[in-house]
Structure 1
Amino acid sequence: MTLLAPLHFDDAREAAALAAFLTRLVRYDRAAAVRLQAGGGALAVFGRPASFDVLAIRTARLVDAVDLDVTVSAGELLEGIEESGGKAVVPDSVTGPPWAGVLPPRSGWRPVEGLPGAAEMRGAVAAAVAEFRARDEELPEERRTRAERDRIGHDIWSRTLGTTGLPLRAVHAAQSLGFLPPADTGLAPALFASGPWLRLRTPYGSIALRTAPMSLAVAPR
Protein backbone atom coordinates (compact mmCIF):
# COMPACT_ATOMS: atom_id res chain seq x y z
CA MET A 1 0.00 0.00 0.00
CA THR A 2 1.30 3.45 -0.86
CA LEU A 3 0.57 6.86 0.57
CA LEU A 4 -0.12 8.68 -2.70
CA ALA A 5 -0.48 8.33 -6.42
CA PRO A 6 2.88 8.25 -8.21
CA LEU A 7 4.89 11.44 -8.54
CA HIS A 8 5.34 12.41 -12.18
CA PHE A 9 8.56 14.23 -13.03
CA ASP A 10 8.73 17.04 -15.56
CA ASP A 11 11.54 15.18 -17.34
CA ALA A 12 12.55 11.52 -17.21
CA ARG A 13 16.12 12.65 -16.53
CA GLU A 14 14.90 14.05 -13.21
CA ALA A 15 13.85 10.54 -12.21
CA ALA A 16 17.23 9.13 -13.23
CA ALA A 17 19.10 11.81 -11.27
CA LEU A 18 17.03 11.14 -8.15
CA ALA A 19 17.64 7.40 -8.52
CA ALA A 20 21.39 8.00 -8.73
CA PHE A 21 21.27 10.13 -5.56
CA LEU A 22 19.29 7.51 -3.65
CA THR A 23 21.62 4.75 -4.84
CA ARG A 24 24.59 6.56 -3.32
CA LEU A 25 22.74 7.18 -0.06
CA VAL A 26 21.75 3.53 0.27
CA ARG A 27 25.32 2.48 -0.50
CA TYR A 28 26.42 4.28 2.66
CA ASP A 29 23.46 3.10 4.75
CA ARG A 30 20.97 0.42 3.62
CA ALA A 31 18.51 1.63 6.26
CA ALA A 32 18.72 5.29 5.16
CA ALA A 33 15.59 7.42 5.32
CA VAL A 34 14.79 10.53 3.31
CA ARG A 35 12.34 13.35 3.92
CA LEU A 36 10.30 14.46 0.93
CA GLN A 37 8.78 17.91 0.64
CA ALA A 38 6.80 18.93 -2.44
CA GLY A 39 4.86 22.03 -3.34
CA GLY A 40 4.35 24.30 -6.30
CA GLY A 41 5.58 21.73 -8.80
CA ALA A 42 8.92 21.14 -7.08
CA LEU A 43 10.20 18.23 -4.99
CA ALA A 44 13.02 18.40 -2.44
CA VAL A 45 14.56 15.19 -1.11
CA PHE A 46 16.63 15.45 2.07
CA GLY A 47 19.02 12.72 3.21
CA ARG A 48 21.86 12.35 5.69
CA PRO A 49 24.72 10.31 4.24
CA ALA A 50 26.28 8.18 6.95
CA SER A 51 29.61 9.38 8.44
CA PHE A 52 29.55 12.87 6.85
CA ASP A 53 27.39 14.70 9.45
CA VAL A 54 25.71 16.85 6.77
CA LEU A 55 22.36 16.99 5.00
CA ALA A 56 22.23 16.28 1.27
CA ILE A 57 19.45 17.81 -0.81
CA ARG A 58 18.34 16.81 -4.29
CA THR A 59 15.53 18.69 -6.05
CA ALA A 60 13.35 17.80 -9.03
CA ARG A 61 10.58 19.38 -11.05
CA LEU A 62 7.13 17.75 -11.01
CA VAL A 63 4.36 17.85 -13.58
CA ASP A 64 1.67 18.43 -10.94
CA ALA A 65 1.60 20.85 -8.01
CA VAL A 66 1.59 18.12 -5.35
CA ASP A 67 1.62 19.01 -1.65
CA LEU A 68 3.70 16.47 0.26
CA ASP A 69 5.76 16.26 3.43
CA VAL A 70 6.71 12.74 4.49
CA THR A 71 9.70 10.69 5.62
CA VAL A 72 10.20 7.36 3.84
CA SER A 73 12.75 4.61 3.33
CA ALA A 74 15.37 5.66 0.76
CA GLY A 75 15.65 2.09 -0.50
CA GLU A 76 11.90 1.69 -0.97
CA LEU A 77 11.65 5.02 -2.75
CA LEU A 78 14.50 3.95 -5.04
CA GLU A 79 12.67 0.72 -5.85
CA GLY A 80 9.58 2.74 -6.75
CA ILE A 81 11.30 4.95 -9.33
CA GLU A 82 10.50 4.18 -12.95
CA GLU A 83 13.20 6.06 -14.84
CA SER A 84 11.85 5.43 -18.34
CA GLY A 85 8.39 6.57 -17.33
CA GLY A 86 9.65 9.55 -15.35
CA LYS A 87 7.68 8.71 -12.24
CA ALA A 88 8.08 7.44 -8.68
CA VAL A 89 5.82 5.61 -6.26
CA VAL A 90 5.97 7.11 -2.76
CA PRO A 91 6.18 4.31 -0.17
CA ASP A 92 4.56 4.26 3.25
CA SER A 93 5.97 6.68 5.77
CA VAL A 94 8.48 5.63 8.42
CA THR A 95 9.38 7.03 11.80
CA GLY A 96 11.83 9.75 10.92
CA PRO A 97 15.31 10.01 12.45
CA PRO A 98 16.00 13.13 14.59
CA TRP A 99 17.71 15.04 11.78
CA ALA A 100 14.52 14.91 9.65
CA GLY A 101 12.86 17.35 12.05
CA VAL A 102 15.59 19.98 11.73
CA LEU A 103 15.89 21.07 8.10
CA PRO A 104 17.61 24.13 6.62
CA PRO A 105 15.50 27.30 6.29
CA ARG A 106 13.73 27.94 3.00
CA SER A 107 14.71 31.59 2.76
CA GLY A 108 17.10 34.19 4.13
CA TRP A 109 20.20 32.85 2.40
CA ARG A 110 23.06 35.25 1.64
CA PRO A 111 26.11 34.56 -0.54
CA VAL A 112 29.43 33.71 1.14
CA GLU A 113 32.55 34.83 -0.71
CA GLY A 114 35.81 32.95 -1.09
CA LEU A 115 34.63 29.55 -2.34
CA PRO A 116 37.18 28.04 -4.76
CA GLY A 117 36.18 26.36 -8.00
CA ALA A 118 35.15 22.72 -8.36
CA ALA A 119 38.62 21.64 -9.50
CA GLU A 120 40.28 23.17 -6.43
CA MET A 121 37.64 21.60 -4.20
CA ARG A 122 38.33 18.19 -5.68
CA GLY A 123 42.03 18.79 -5.10
CA ALA A 124 41.41 19.66 -1.46
CA VAL A 125 39.47 16.42 -0.96
CA ALA A 126 42.19 14.37 -2.68
CA ALA A 127 44.87 15.94 -0.48
CA ALA A 128 42.81 15.24 2.64
CA VAL A 129 42.29 11.60 1.65
CA ALA A 130 46.02 11.21 1.00
CA GLU A 131 46.85 12.76 4.37
CA PHE A 132 44.46 10.43 6.17
CA ARG A 133 46.03 7.38 4.53
CA ALA A 134 49.54 8.57 5.33
CA ARG A 135 48.74 9.27 8.97
CA ASP A 136 46.92 5.95 9.28
CA GLU A 137 49.92 4.05 7.88
CA GLU A 138 52.21 5.81 10.37
CA LEU A 139 50.24 4.57 13.37
CA PRO A 140 52.02 1.90 15.42
CA GLU A 141 50.17 -1.40 15.59
CA GLU A 142 48.90 -0.83 19.13
CA ARG A 143 47.21 2.43 18.09
CA ARG A 144 45.46 1.10 14.98
CA THR A 145 42.02 1.40 16.54
CA ARG A 146 38.69 2.74 15.31
CA ALA A 147 38.86 5.51 17.91
CA GLU A 148 42.29 6.65 16.73
CA ARG A 149 41.23 6.60 13.08
CA ASP A 150 38.08 8.55 13.95
CA ARG A 151 40.24 11.13 15.74
CA ILE A 152 42.44 11.55 12.67
CA GLY A 153 39.41 11.80 10.41
CA HIS A 154 37.77 14.41 12.60
CA ASP A 155 40.95 16.47 12.63
CA ILE A 156 41.22 16.42 8.85
CA TRP A 157 37.59 16.73 7.77
CA SER A 158 36.74 19.46 10.28
CA ARG A 159 39.21 21.84 8.66
CA THR A 160 37.54 24.66 6.81
CA LEU A 161 37.96 25.58 3.16
CA GLY A 162 39.85 28.85 2.87
CA THR A 163 38.05 31.66 4.67
CA THR A 164 34.55 30.29 4.05
CA GLY A 165 34.02 28.35 7.27
CA LEU A 166 32.87 25.36 5.19
CA PRO A 167 34.26 22.09 6.62
CA LEU A 168 36.06 19.79 4.21
CA ARG A 169 33.65 16.99 5.12
CA ALA A 170 30.91 18.94 3.31
CA VAL A 171 33.01 19.10 0.14
CA HIS A 172 33.86 15.40 0.51
CA ALA A 173 30.15 14.61 0.81
CA ALA A 174 29.37 16.68 -2.29
CA GLN A 175 31.99 14.81 -4.29
CA SER A 176 30.95 11.39 -2.97
CA LEU A 177 27.29 12.02 -3.86
CA GLY A 178 28.10 13.24 -7.37
CA PHE A 179 27.18 16.87 -6.70
CA LEU A 180 30.47 18.53 -7.72
CA PRO A 181 30.35 19.47 -11.40
CA PRO A 182 33.10 18.17 -13.72
CA ALA A 183 35.87 20.66 -14.42
CA ASP A 184 35.04 20.90 -18.13
CA THR A 185 31.42 22.03 -17.67
CA GLY A 186 32.13 25.57 -16.50
CA LEU A 187 29.49 25.16 -13.80
CA ALA A 188 30.55 26.64 -10.48
CA PRO A 189 29.39 25.71 -6.98
CA ALA A 190 28.22 28.52 -4.69
CA LEU A 191 28.11 28.91 -0.92
CA PHE A 192 25.33 30.54 1.11
CA ALA A 193 24.65 31.17 4.81
CA SER A 194 21.46 31.63 6.82
CA GLY A 195 21.71 31.89 10.59
CA PRO A 196 23.71 28.88 11.84
CA TRP A 197 23.42 27.08 8.48
CA LEU A 198 25.81 26.86 5.52
CA ARG A 199 24.67 25.51 2.14
CA LEU A 200 26.98 24.42 -0.66
CA ARG A 201 24.87 24.57 -3.80
CA THR A 202 25.74 23.04 -7.16
CA PRO A 203 23.66 22.34 -10.29
CA TYR A 204 23.40 18.70 -9.17
CA GLY A 205 22.38 19.11 -5.53
CA SER A 206 23.20 20.82 -2.24
CA ILE A 207 25.00 20.02 0.98
CA ALA A 208 23.79 21.81 4.11
CA LEU A 209 25.11 21.79 7.65
CA ARG A 210 24.80 23.72 10.87
CA THR A 211 27.79 25.57 12.25
CA ALA A 212 26.22 25.28 15.73
CA PRO A 213 25.16 22.04 17.46
CA MET A 214 21.90 20.71 16.04
CA SER A 215 18.91 20.69 18.36
CA LEU A 216 16.57 17.71 18.20
CA ALA A 217 13.56 20.00 18.52
CA VAL A 218 11.56 20.63 15.39
CA ALA A 219 12.52 23.95 13.87
CA PRO A 220 9.72 26.41 13.00
CA ARG A 221 8.70 26.11 9.35
Structure 2
Amino acid sequence: MTNTVTLASEHDAADLKTYLERADRLGCEHVWLVGAGGALAAYVAVLTPQGLLDVAPTVLGLRIFERVETDHLDMVVQVRAMLDRLARNELAIALPVGQAGIAWTGVAPPRGNWAPVGSMSEIELQLTAKSGIEEVAKANGLGTNIVTAVREEVWRRPLNVLGSDGMSVPAGVAFAAFGLGFIGTAEAHVTSSAAWKRISTQRGHILVK
Protein backbone atom coordinates (compact mmCIF):
# COMPACT_ATOMS: atom_id res chain seq x y z
CA MET A 1 0.00 0.00 0.00
CA THR A 2 1.34 3.42 -0.93
CA ASN A 3 2.27 6.05 1.66
CA THR A 4 1.77 8.87 -0.84
CA VAL A 5 -1.07 10.03 -3.03
CA THR A 6 -0.32 12.31 -5.97
CA LEU A 7 -3.24 14.38 -7.18
CA ALA A 8 -3.52 14.91 -10.92
CA SER A 9 -3.83 18.71 -10.89
CA GLU A 10 -3.82 21.84 -8.76
CA HIS A 11 -7.58 21.92 -9.29
CA ASP A 12 -7.95 18.51 -7.61
CA ALA A 13 -5.72 19.61 -4.73
CA ALA A 14 -7.70 22.83 -4.19
CA ASP A 15 -11.01 20.94 -4.34
CA LEU A 16 -9.83 18.33 -1.83
CA LYS A 17 -8.62 21.07 0.52
CA THR A 18 -11.95 22.92 0.32
CA TYR A 19 -13.91 19.70 0.81
CA LEU A 20 -11.94 18.74 3.92
CA GLU A 21 -12.13 22.27 5.35
CA ARG A 22 -15.91 22.09 5.11
CA ALA A 23 -15.93 18.59 6.60
CA ASP A 24 -13.79 19.84 9.49
CA ARG A 25 -16.25 22.66 10.20
CA LEU A 26 -19.03 20.05 10.37
CA GLY A 27 -17.08 18.13 13.00
CA CYS A 28 -15.84 15.31 10.76
CA GLU A 29 -12.70 13.94 12.39
CA HIS A 30 -11.64 11.36 9.80
CA VAL A 31 -11.56 10.92 6.04
CA TRP A 32 -11.62 7.48 4.44
CA LEU A 33 -9.43 7.45 1.33
CA VAL A 34 -10.08 4.69 -1.21
CA GLY A 35 -8.01 4.60 -4.37
CA ALA A 36 -8.72 2.39 -7.38
CA GLY A 37 -7.16 3.04 -10.75
CA GLY A 38 -6.74 6.77 -11.24
CA ALA A 39 -9.62 7.69 -8.94
CA LEU A 40 -9.42 8.72 -5.28
CA ALA A 41 -12.67 8.50 -3.29
CA ALA A 42 -12.76 10.57 -0.10
CA TYR A 43 -15.54 9.71 2.37
CA VAL A 44 -16.40 11.73 5.49
CA ALA A 45 -19.03 10.94 8.13
CA VAL A 46 -21.32 13.90 8.78
CA LEU A 47 -23.86 12.01 10.94
CA THR A 48 -23.45 8.60 12.60
CA PRO A 49 -25.20 6.64 15.36
CA GLN A 50 -23.64 7.27 18.76
CA GLY A 51 -24.32 3.86 20.27
CA LEU A 52 -25.97 0.49 19.75
CA LEU A 53 -29.40 1.85 20.66
CA ASP A 54 -29.08 5.02 18.58
CA VAL A 55 -31.38 4.90 15.54
CA ALA A 56 -29.82 7.93 13.86
CA PRO A 57 -28.88 7.42 10.20
CA THR A 58 -25.36 7.12 8.88
CA VAL A 59 -24.83 10.03 6.49
CA LEU A 60 -21.58 10.19 4.52
CA GLY A 61 -20.17 12.73 2.11
CA LEU A 62 -18.21 11.57 -0.93
CA ARG A 63 -16.04 13.38 -3.45
CA ILE A 64 -14.02 11.76 -6.23
CA PHE A 65 -10.65 13.17 -7.26
CA GLU A 66 -8.16 12.24 -9.96
CA ARG A 67 -4.77 10.88 -8.90
CA VAL A 68 -1.59 9.78 -10.66
CA GLU A 69 -1.09 6.43 -8.94
CA THR A 70 -3.10 3.39 -9.98
CA ASP A 71 -2.29 1.04 -7.09
CA HIS A 72 -4.83 0.13 -4.41
CA LEU A 73 -5.33 2.52 -1.50
CA ASP A 74 -7.60 2.03 1.52
CA MET A 75 -6.80 4.21 4.55
CA VAL A 76 -8.60 6.20 7.21
CA VAL A 77 -6.69 9.30 8.30
CA GLN A 78 -7.41 12.39 10.37
CA VAL A 79 -8.98 15.28 8.47
CA ARG A 80 -6.80 17.90 10.14
CA ALA A 81 -3.64 15.93 9.42
CA MET A 82 -4.58 15.87 5.73
CA LEU A 83 -5.29 19.61 5.82
CA ASP A 84 -1.84 20.22 7.29
CA ARG A 85 -0.31 18.45 4.30
CA LEU A 86 -2.57 20.13 1.74
CA ALA A 87 -1.51 23.52 3.13
CA ARG A 88 1.91 22.95 1.52
CA ASN A 89 0.31 23.23 -1.93
CA GLU A 90 2.04 20.12 -3.24
CA LEU A 91 0.41 17.58 -5.54
CA ALA A 92 2.30 14.66 -3.96
CA ILE A 93 0.88 14.24 -0.43
CA ALA A 94 2.60 12.10 2.18
CA LEU A 95 -0.32 10.40 3.88
CA PRO A 96 -0.77 10.72 7.67
CA VAL A 97 -0.67 7.71 9.96
CA GLY A 98 -3.66 5.47 9.34
CA GLN A 99 -6.39 5.27 11.97
CA ALA A 100 -7.91 1.93 13.01
CA GLY A 101 -11.22 1.10 14.67
CA ILE A 102 -13.30 3.93 13.18
CA ALA A 103 -16.81 2.48 13.50
CA TRP A 104 -18.49 4.09 10.48
CA THR A 105 -15.92 2.61 8.08
CA GLY A 106 -16.91 -0.91 9.11
CA VAL A 107 -19.58 -1.25 6.42
CA ALA A 108 -18.61 0.26 3.08
CA PRO A 109 -21.28 1.67 0.77
CA PRO A 110 -21.70 -0.34 -2.45
CA ARG A 111 -19.50 0.66 -5.38
CA GLY A 112 -21.90 -0.66 -7.99
CA ASN A 113 -25.45 -1.77 -8.77
CA TRP A 114 -26.94 1.67 -8.13
CA ALA A 115 -30.47 1.91 -9.52
CA PRO A 116 -32.25 5.25 -10.17
CA VAL A 117 -35.25 5.90 -7.92
CA GLY A 118 -36.06 9.59 -8.31
CA SER A 119 -34.80 13.10 -7.71
CA MET A 120 -34.77 15.94 -5.18
CA SER A 121 -34.76 19.71 -5.63
CA GLU A 122 -31.42 21.14 -4.56
CA ILE A 123 -33.16 24.36 -3.53
CA GLU A 124 -35.47 22.38 -1.24
CA LEU A 125 -32.45 20.60 0.24
CA GLN A 126 -30.88 23.96 0.97
CA LEU A 127 -34.04 25.33 2.61
CA THR A 128 -34.40 22.16 4.70
CA ALA A 129 -30.79 22.41 5.87
CA LYS A 130 -31.06 26.08 6.82
CA SER A 131 -34.32 25.67 8.74
CA GLY A 132 -32.97 22.60 10.54
CA ILE A 133 -29.78 24.41 11.53
CA GLU A 134 -31.84 27.28 12.93
CA GLU A 135 -34.03 24.87 14.90
CA VAL A 136 -31.03 23.10 16.40
CA ALA A 137 -29.37 26.44 17.21
CA LYS A 138 -32.41 27.52 19.24
CA ALA A 139 -31.84 24.56 21.57
CA ASN A 140 -28.29 25.64 22.41
CA GLY A 141 -27.91 26.45 26.08
CA LEU A 142 -30.72 24.10 27.13
CA GLY A 143 -28.38 21.28 28.10
CA THR A 144 -26.43 18.66 26.20
CA ASN A 145 -29.16 16.01 26.34
CA ILE A 146 -31.81 18.38 25.00
CA VAL A 147 -29.58 19.63 22.19
CA THR A 148 -28.72 16.05 21.23
CA ALA A 149 -32.39 15.03 21.23
CA VAL A 150 -33.40 18.03 19.10
CA ARG A 151 -30.58 17.40 16.64
CA GLU A 152 -31.55 13.75 16.25
CA GLU A 153 -35.24 14.59 15.81
CA VAL A 154 -34.55 17.30 13.22
CA TRP A 155 -32.17 15.30 11.04
CA ARG A 156 -34.26 12.09 11.14
CA ARG A 157 -37.30 13.76 9.60
CA PRO A 158 -38.20 12.18 6.24
CA LEU A 159 -37.77 14.01 2.96
CA ASN A 160 -39.73 12.67 0.01
CA VAL A 161 -37.89 11.55 -3.10
CA LEU A 162 -39.68 12.93 -6.16
CA GLY A 163 -40.73 10.36 -8.72
CA SER A 164 -40.30 7.42 -6.35
CA ASP A 165 -42.92 5.09 -4.95
CA GLY A 166 -43.14 6.76 -1.55
CA MET A 167 -39.40 6.59 -0.84
CA SER A 168 -37.88 9.07 1.58
CA VAL A 169 -34.46 9.96 3.00
CA PRO A 170 -33.66 11.59 6.36
CA ALA A 171 -33.24 15.36 6.48
CA GLY A 172 -29.65 14.79 7.53
CA VAL A 173 -28.77 14.40 3.86
CA ALA A 174 -29.74 18.04 3.34
CA PHE A 175 -27.55 19.11 6.25
CA ALA A 176 -24.59 17.16 4.84
CA ALA A 177 -25.06 18.38 1.27
CA PHE A 178 -25.37 22.00 2.39
CA GLY A 179 -22.46 21.88 4.82
CA LEU A 180 -20.14 20.22 2.31
CA GLY A 181 -21.00 22.69 -0.44
CA PHE A 182 -22.69 20.19 -2.73
CA ILE A 183 -25.91 22.13 -3.35
CA GLY A 184 -26.56 24.18 -6.47
CA THR A 185 -29.82 25.05 -8.21
CA ALA A 186 -30.47 21.89 -10.23
CA GLU A 187 -32.03 18.51 -9.43
CA ALA A 188 -30.18 15.98 -7.29
CA HIS A 189 -30.40 12.41 -8.61
CA VAL A 190 -31.29 9.69 -6.10
CA THR A 191 -30.17 6.08 -6.56
CA SER A 192 -30.26 3.06 -4.28
CA SER A 193 -28.21 -0.09 -3.76
CA ALA A 194 -28.88 -2.62 -0.99
CA ALA A 195 -29.63 -0.65 2.21
CA TRP A 196 -27.99 2.53 0.93
CA LYS A 197 -29.34 5.54 -0.93
CA ARG A 198 -27.15 8.03 -2.80
CA ILE A 199 -28.06 11.66 -3.47
CA SER A 200 -25.85 13.00 -6.26
CA THR A 201 -25.34 16.57 -7.44
CA GLN A 202 -22.79 18.02 -9.83
CA ARG A 203 -20.60 18.84 -6.81
CA GLY A 204 -20.58 15.56 -4.89
CA HIS A 205 -22.51 12.67 -3.38
CA ILE A 206 -24.30 12.05 -0.08
CA LEU A 207 -24.74 8.42 1.00
CA VAL A 208 -27.24 7.41 3.66
CA LYS A 209 -28.16 4.17 5.41
Q: How far did 1:41 drift?
A: 0.5
Q: In the alignment, which residue of structure 1 is the partner of 2:44? A: 47
Asked whether 1:204 is paired with 2:208, we answer no
Which one of the candidate residues 67, 80, 86 is aligned to 1:81?
86
Per-residue CA deviations over 1:117-151 (Å, capped at 9, x if unaligned) read 211221222233344456x49xxx9xx33222322
Q: In the alignment, which residue of structure 2 is the partner of 1:150? A: 148
Q: Report which of the two structures shows the higher radius of gyration computed on alpha carbons.
A: 1
Equivalence map 1:66-77=2 (5 Å): 66-77=71-82
Tell me which amino acid in the other structure corresponds to 1:188: E
Q: How far did 1:21 drift?
A: 1.5
Which one of the candidate residues 111, 118, 121 is aligned to 1:117?
121
Q: In the alignment, which residue of structure 2 is the partner of 1:214? A: none
Q: How far did 1:24 drift?
A: 2.1
Tell me which amino acid in the other structure corresponds to 2:80: G
Equivalence map 1:103-142=2 (5 Å): 103-113=108-118, 115-132=119-136, 136=139
Asked whether 1:173 is paired with 2:176, we answer yes
- Structure 2 gaps of 5+ residues are 49-56, 162-166
Instruction: Assess, with a 3 A threshold, how the Cα gap between structure 1 residues 116 and 50 changes in structure 2: closer, same or farther.
Output: closer
Q: Which has the higher strand share?
A: 2
Moved more, 80-89 or 6-15: 80-89
Question: How well do the aligned residues superpose, as a CA RMSD in angstroms?
Answer: 2.6
Q: In the alignment, which residue of structure 2 is the partner of 1:62? A: 67
Cα separation, 2, equivalents of 1:82 and 1:145: 37
Q: In the alignment, which residue of structure 2 is the partner of 1:27? A: 25
Q: How far did 1:13 drift?
A: 0.9
Q: In the alignment, which residue of structure 2 is the partner of 1:218? A: none
Asked whether 1:37 is paired with 2:34, we answer yes
Tell me which amino acid in the other structure corresponds to 2:160: G
Task: Decide whether the 8 Å contact of 2:8 with 2:91 is kept in 1.
Answer: yes
TM-score of the two chains, using structure 2 as the length reference: 0.81
Cα separation, 1, equivalents of 2:26 and 2:96: 20
Cα separation, 1, equivalents of 2:112 and 2:73: 19
% identical equivalent positions: 25
TM-score of the two chains, using structure 1 as the length reference: 0.77
- Structure 1 gaps of 5+ residues are 211-221
Per-residue CA deviations over 1:178-203 (Å, capped at 9, x if unaligned) read 1112x3xxx53211111111111122
Asked whether 1:92 is paired with 2:90, we answer no
Task: Decide whether the 8 Å contact of 2:2 with 2:71 is kept in 1.
Answer: no
Specify the SS of the correspondent of 1:58: strand
Tell me which amino acid in the other structure corresponds to 1:65: T
